[in-house]
Amino acid sequence: MQTITTLAELRHALAQARKEGKRVGLVPTMGYLHEGHLALVQASRTRSDITVVSIFVNPTQFGPNEDLSTYPRDFIRDEQLCRNAGVTIVFAPDTREVYPTTFETFVEPGDLATPLCGAYRPGHFRGVATVVCKLFNMVQPDIAFFGQKDFQQCAVIRRMAVDLNLPVDIVTIPTIRESDGLAMSSRNRYLSDEERRRALTISRGLFAAADKFRSGERDVENLVAAAREQLSSVDRLQYLELVDSHTLKAAESPLQRPAALCVAAYVGSTWLIDNVILSFPAPDGQRSPGS
Ligand code: PAF
């Protein structure tokens, strides 16, 4: 495995692979890797010849009062995890490599970036879209992998790739959870034991709603209420919304199209997000899309 910090070295390292017609997979991360990231690496390894993991805590996606300076970092551990997971290249540029002092051009996402996290984190998806677009241009992957936990991020990136004709396939991998259901996140390490127990109500709420949906409930208010009942232990619920999974607009009742129940909440001072997708079973004898 190679660790590379500059764009020049990266281009050099990938040039030969490209000449040999090798397929390049990219797993963009902000480091402090966990099983969720490693599942993305695994998916990349099965679908590409070369897996590049980028590790870059992107300043432009953090608001002024957010956790950029305290965002967990452990590069040595990340490198080891990547080596063990069979990653080909770790690309870990510093801030000036990605954003030289002359930098002034951003990618501005549209309506998909407005609801949910977009309503509480102004500029967040502009920062995400910009850095992901830059990483796509730097690595020029054939395929890139993202986790479903960041549901809105996936929607914004997919749309960006289509709108800007970026020649990369975007693959979303289901959320990886701890054995008790908590969605894996680098921010989980901020939680005390007591907060960790209360954080569990987030996934419990989502699963309660998903169970109701599976039992035939289609009323949006009832589905949201099923989740909300469980969520009393979080310190501040930022949003709990059932949205159309393609447009991210509020889902219409009764549900007739695939929807995502998305939540963001603070437990102590830790901000956590999670979601479940409520998709309709395929008619008998047909495979559902994506199965
Ligand atoms: O999901 C993340 O870790 C980040 O938002 C990403 C996609 C690496 C961009 O900085």
Q: Quick count: other Cβ atoms within 10 Å of Cβ 91?
A: 25
Closest CA to 33 of 262, 188, 246: 188
Cβ of 61 below 6 Å from ligand 1: yes
Query: Computed from CA positions of residues 132, 138, 140, 144, in that sequence, does the dihedral angle turn out positive or negative?
Result: negative
Q: Cis omega before residue 28 (within 30°)?
A: no
Token digits of residue 73: 């970092």
Show the CA angle centred on residue 274, arms to residues 155 and 27, nearest 5°.
55
Q: How far is the CA of 8 from the centre of ligand 1 (A)?
A: 22
Q: Note the pTM of the prediction, 2 decimals.
A: 0.96
What is the sign, positive or negative, of the torsion defined by CA atoms of 173, 178, 182, 184? negative
- How many Å lie between the centroid of ligand 1 and the Cα of residue 60? 11
Determine the atom of ligand 1 nearest the C-alpha atom of 135: 9
Output the pLDDT for position 284.
Answer: 67
With the most atoms of ligand 1 within 8 angstroms of its CB, the residue from 95, 121, 132, 158 to mutate is 132
From the candidates 12, 34, 37, 246, give the one annotated as an active-site residue.
37
The residues with which 250 forms a beta bridge, in sequence order, are 243
30 pocket-lining for ligand 1 (C-beta < 6 Å): yes
- Residue 72, CB-side half-sphere exposure with 13 Å CA sphere: 16
From atom 1 of ligand 1, which residue's Cα is the shortest distance away?
29
The response to whether residue 33 sits with its C-beta less than 6 Å from ligand 1 reads: no
Q: How many A from CA of 187 to the centre of ligand 1?
A: 13
Instruction: Using the mean position of ligand 1's atoms as its centre, give its distance from the Cα of residue 224 in Å.
Output: 28
Which of 26, 40, 57, 58 to mutate to test ligand 1, by most ligand atoms within 8 A of the CB atom?
Answer: 58
Q: What tokens appear for 105 in the block?
A: 């051009």
pLDDT at 135: 99
d(CA 132, CA 261) in angstroms, rounded, equals 25
One-letter amino acid identity for 176?
I
**CATH 3.40.50.620 boundaries in the chain:** 2-173
Residue with CA closest to ligand 1 atom 2: 29
Q: Where in the chain is the domain with CATH 3.30.1300.10?
A: 186-285
According to CATH, what is the number of the domain 186-285? 3.30.1300.10
Residue 289: what pLDDT?
45
Question: Mind listing the pLDDT tens digit of every residue in the chain (291 residues)?
Answer: 999 999 999 999 999 999 999 999 999 999 999 999 999 999 999 999 999 999 999 999 999 999 999 999 999 999 999 999 999 999 999 999 999 999 999 999 999 999 999 999 999 999 999 999 999 999 999 999 999 999 999 999 999 999 999 999 999 999 999 999 999 999 999 999 999 999 999 999 999 999 999 999 999 999 999 999 999 899 999 999 999 999 999 999 999 999 999 999 999 999 999 999 999 987 765 554 443
Query: How far are the Cα atoms of 2, 39, 52 from residue 79, in angstroms, in the given order?
Result: 10, 16, 12
* Superfamily of segment(s) 2-173: HUPs (3.40.50.620)
Question: 131 in ligand 1 pocket by Cβ < 6 Å?
Answer: yes
- The backbone region for 285, taken as left when phi is positive above 0, alpha when psi lies in -120 to 50, beta otherwise, is left
Would residue 246 show up in a list of annotated catalytic residues for this protein?
A: no
DSSP string computed for the chain = -EEE-SHHHHHHHHHHHHHTT--EEEEEE-SS--HHHHHHHHHHHHH-SEEEEEE---GGGS-TTSSTTTS---HHHHHHHHHHHT-SEEE---HHHHS-TT--------GGGSSTHHHHSTTHHHHHHHHHHHHHHHH--SEEEEEGGGHHHHHHHHHHHHHTT---EEEEEPPPB-TTSPBP-GGGGG--HHHHHHHHHHHHHHHHHHHHHHTT---HHHHHHHHHHHGGGSSEEEEEEEEETTT-SBPPSSP-S-EEEEEEEEETTEEEEEEEEE-PPPPTT-PPTT-
Closest-lying ligand 1 atom to the alpha carbon of residue 61 = 10
Residue 54 CA, closest ligand 1 atom number: 8
Name the residue at shortest CA distance from atom 9 of ligand 1.
128
Q: Report the distance separating Cα 193 and Cα 133, nearest Å.
A: 38
How far apart are the C-alpha atoms of 90 and 192, rounded to whole Å?
31
Residue nearest to atom 3 of ligand 1 (CA): 29
Nearest C-alpha to atom 6 of ligand 1 is from which residue? Answer: 29
Nearest to 124 by CA among 59, 42, 200, 34: 59
Spatial separation of the C-alpha atoms in residues 128 and 18, rounded to whole Å: 27
Whether 109 is in the pocket of ligand 1, judged by its Cβ within 6 Å, is no
Q: Which of 50, 175, 61, 54 is nearest to 109 (CA)?
A: 61
